[in-house]
Amino acid sequence: MSADSNVIEQRAGSLRRAPSRAWAIVGALSITETVSWGILYYAFAVFLLPMQRELGFSTPQLTGAFSLALLIAAVAGIGAGRYLDRRSPRALMTAGSVAGVLLVLAWSRVDSLIAFYALWIGIGLVMATVLYEPAFVVLAKWFPVPRDRRRALTVLTLVAALASFIFLPLSQALIDAHGWRDALVVLAVILAAVTIPLHALVLRKAPELEPGHPSAAPSSTASDALMSRPFWLLTAAFFLATFTGIAMVVLGIPFLLERGYSAPFAAFAVGLIGISQIPGRVVFAMASSRLPATWATAGVFALIAVGIGVVVGIQGTAAVVAGLVLLGMGNGMTTLSRATLIADRYGAAAYGTIGGVAAAFTTGARAAGPVTAAAYAALVGYTSLLWTLAALATVAAALAYRAETT
């Protein structure tokens, strides 16, 4: 058999094995994303008060480190995306998991504010290698067919949406039982036991498709995508939607308390934003394949605007619950929409670079949203803030509609 025949046979074998390997990777990443998000992102909120009590640092000082980590992740994510466009994800994501474990252990021993900021700079770099963005790149390359890719991304984001539901109460239970320092050690062990082996043993580089293969859809270059007007319109829309969503999560409780609702109800109602992301992603996965892209994308942001408008514009407990459920569904759709939209529009070849740039802005919005919205609310009040957020979500819908019609 000739050398060329051997190469062809090897590629054919790779493609035959690809579906089972691809879904194994979906399963592995669904688990590792849930654990990574739960420990590296959501758990911080639970540790904030006990750290403040023992270390004596103010809330702004501690949350400033978390915001800095998100900004670091936004910038570093561009480089991580470029890396994944060319190389296997196994080394990068495994190294990120190892570094994450070491940094969580270091967090459990921190005493000074400088050390706290230093380790959160490191965690920001880790976020860029193990959270949604690198996982989206991996699945975009393993699933070249848009329908299959949407299914894979939907499964991933549905499972990972449980991260806060699992790790917020788990973290609190560990703190209550062992104190915050030993609780972090336990979480580091969980992070190590789950994410390191799955990243190291399951992740592989996607097989390359021949140009004439039916699944080998054309892809845009990174430069063409980043120089196009639709890309920046969509990026602006996702920035505004992310800013709006995170501001509502952080400031929704103070708004409801000001309206006269009880603290338990306010906490429950705002908690609906997180759990409502799950049905939101299911609805988006079903609707996006049936609706024109113009309306599917703009509708995601319009739903956020409607949800906020119901909360602030209609009095009553039922209106608050309904509005926050709509907002949560819109937030859940936004994450899935961004992942699928970039892959569908620009292809998989440069997805890491293109998606990394888009993600840098949305991550930046997540970092800047709480402090900016809080400062604005201090000037104009919570009611005016919410109407402003509804207006921003409406602008996001208009930008998305314009991008799809350009």
CATH number at residue 36: 1.20.1250.20
Both 194 and 234 in one domain: the answer is no
Both 308 and 175 in one domain: the answer is no
Both 234 and 190 in one domain: the answer is no
Report the C-alpha gap between 107 and 92 in whole angstroms. 22
Does residue 320 sit within a domain?
yes
Both 248 and 334 in one domain: the answer is yes
* pLDDT for 13: 47
- Our count of domains for the chain comes to 2
pLDDT (tens, 9 = 90+) of the chain, 406 residues, equals: 444 444 434 444 444 456 788 999 999 999 999 999 999 998 998 898 899 999 999 888 998 899 899 999 999 999 999 999 999 999 999 999 999 999 999 999 999 999 999 999 999 999 999 999 999 999 999 998 888 888 999 999 999 988 888 888 899 999 999 999 999 999 999 999 999 999 999 999 988 765 555 555 567 788 888 899 999 999 999 999 999 998 998 888 889 999 999 988 888 888 888 889 889 988 888 887 777 777 778 889 999 999 999 999 999 999 999 999 999 999 989 988 888 888 888 888 889 999 999 999 998 998 888 888 888 988 999 999 999 999 999 999 999 999 888 7
Both 134 and 276 in one domain: the answer is no
Report the C-alpha gap between 124 and 118 in whole angstroms. 10
Does residue 99 sit within a domain?
yes
Both 130 and 246 in one domain: the answer is no
Instruction: Fill in the DSSP letter of residue 315.
Output: -
Does residue 140 sit within a domain?
yes
Does residue 211 sit within a domain?
no
Both 227 and 314 in one domain: the answer is yes
And the tokens for 76? 């570093």
Does residue 3 sit within a domain?
no
Does residue 210 sit within a domain?
no
Both 283 and 227 in one domain: the answer is yes
Both 19 and 136 in one domain: the answer is yes
Residue-range definition of the domain harbouring residue 170: 8-202
Both 197 and 250 in one domain: the answer is no
Report the C-alpha gap between 361 and 357 in whole angstroms. 7
Both 180 and 229 in one domain: the answer is no
* pLDDT for 200: 97
Both 229 and 348 in one domain: the answer is yes
And the tokens for 399? 């930008």
- Global pTM reads 0.86
And the tokens for 245? 């969503």
Report the C-alpha gap between 258 and 308 in whole angstroms. 16
Does residue 394 sit within a domain?
yes
* pLDDT for 30: 97
* pLDDT for 4: 45
* pLDDT for 15: 44
Residue type at 143 in one-letter notation: F
* pLDDT for 217: 57
Last residue of a domain, one of 202, 230, 247: 202
Residue pair 119/110 in contact (Cβ under 8 Å)? The answer is yes
